[in-house]
Structure 1
Amino acid sequence: MIGYITVGTNDLQRAMAFYDALFGSVGLSRLIEMPNIAGWGSNWDKPIFGVAKPFDGSPATPGNGTMIALGQRTRAKVRTLHAKALELGGKDEGPPGVRGAESSQAFYAAYVRDLDGNKLCFYSVGPGEDG
């Protein structure tokens, strides 16, 4: 049901460099770039993550309580994205780990804020790589 989501930025070039490197670390690339928006994904028939300068011209601010959760196939990709976001200047909001009980439906997640303060969650569901 989700076609795309966007988070706001006040510096599109800086945001594009951050997300090119972040998503590139797990094999995703930029699919669209226009004067005020850019978006990343695996292809056009899957959801796209975008950053945009606000249409109304007001400064972009992170939404309090707003979070974008980006599902991954493996826990290793969750760890890769979390580490890469921190390396790129993002802020840690919760290190990689299981939230709740380890099980066949375990929720493994890590949380960061991007350079504009937008909160992201990288997660995978299922048992660890060893089980």
Structure 2
Amino acid sequence: MTINHLFVFVTASKLQAVRSLYLSALKPLGYTEMIAVKNERMELYGFGSDYPYLWIKPLPAGTNPVPTHVAIDAPDNAAVDKFYELALTAGGRDNGLPGIRSQMSRQPYYAAFIIDPDGNNIEAVCVKK
């Protein structure tokens, strides 16, 4: 048996700042906000290219953020560069300039890393065979 799908949930205490960053920075990777739910019971935003696999939701009251690492495939190196540029402009912090990561087993592994306003490490990566 195989897994049909898996969702990644990022909880955010600064939900709108994280959402704004993702709306901008994920565009070069082909990700858009596919679902937005905000009502009296919940607030939830789903991002993806063909299906919303990456979700952000509010951090439950009285809890501390637990930062996560999410790596998203990029179609090419230029998209990695653009992701990095847009993320910094939208309030992300540098966590690794765009470039080849020679320590990775698959090569060439071209990636960039940013930290979102809640401390999550978001990576854009292009691995061409």
TM-score (norm 2): 0.79
Indicate the residue corresponding to 1:49 in structure 2.
54
- Contact 1:72–1:78 (8 Å) recurs in 2: yes
User: How far apart in 1 are the matches of 2:47 and 2:56?
Assistant: 9
Asked if structure 1 preserves the Cα contact closer than 8 Å seen for 2:28 and 2:74, the reply is no
- Which of 14, 18, 35 lines up with 1:15 in the alignment? 18
Q: Which of the numbers 29, 33, 49 marks the counterpart of 1:30?
A: 33
Classify 1:77/1:60 alpha carbon distance in 2 versus 1 (closer, same or farther; 3 Å).
farther
Whole-angstrom CA distance in 2 between matches of 1:25 and 1:6: 21
For 1:6, the aligned partner's letter is F
Matched length:
120
Question: Structure 1: how far apart are the matches of 2:28 and 2:64?
Answer: 26
Select 2:85's aligned residue among 83, 87, 91: 83
Match of 2:69 among 67, 70, 85: 67
Compared CA separation, residues 80 and 18, structure 1 to 2 (3 A): same
TM-score (norm 1): 0.78
Aligned to 2:7: 4
Counterpart residue type for residue 105 of structure 1: Q
Describe the shift of the 1:51–1:115 C-alpha distance in structure 2 as closer, same or farther (beyond 3 A).
Answer: same
User: SS where residue 57 of structure 1 aligns?
Assistant: coil
Note if 1:39 corresponds to 2:46.
yes
| CA deviation after TM superposition for structure 1 residue 60, in Å | 4.7
Backbone CA RMSD of aligned residues: 2.2
Is the Cα contact below 8 Å between 2:100 and 2:110 reproduced in 1?
yes
